[in-house]
Amino acid sequence: MTRSIVAKFAFFKDREAVRRQWKQLNGTNFNVFEQFPSEVVAKRRRLVPKMKEARGQGKRYWVIYDTLYVDGRPVKE
C-alpha cells in the first residue's frame, strides 16, 4: 500500500531541487508529483488533444503551469 505525502516548501529553490531528483526514485514505491489547483488541472486536461496533435506532427512541446508551448510559442486554448 502506498501513502501520499504532501510537502510544502518555503523556498522555490528547495522545491525545484527535490522535483529534479525524481529519476532517482525509479524502481521504488515512491513518486514525485506537483499539486495544482483544480482550475489549472482542468485547463491542462483541455490542452491534452493539442499536445497529442503537436506530438504527431513531430513538434517540440511542453506545459508550464497551465500554458502549452509548441515550438516555443504559447498555444491558445
Cell of 16: 525545484
> How far is the C-alpha of 58 from the C-alpha of 44, rounded, in Å?
20
3-state helix, strand, coil in the chain (%, to 5): 40, 15, 45
Each residue's pLDDT tens digit, 15-53: 999 888 888 888 888 888 888 899 999 999 999 999 999
pTM of the predicted model, to two decimals?
0.65
pLDDT at position 71 is 92
Domains of the chain, by residue range, sit at: 12-74
Each residue's pLDDT tens digit, 53-74: 999 999 999 998 889 999 989 9
Is the pLDDT at 77 greater than 80? The verdict is no
> How far is the C-alpha of 70 from the C-alpha of 66, rounded, in Å?
13
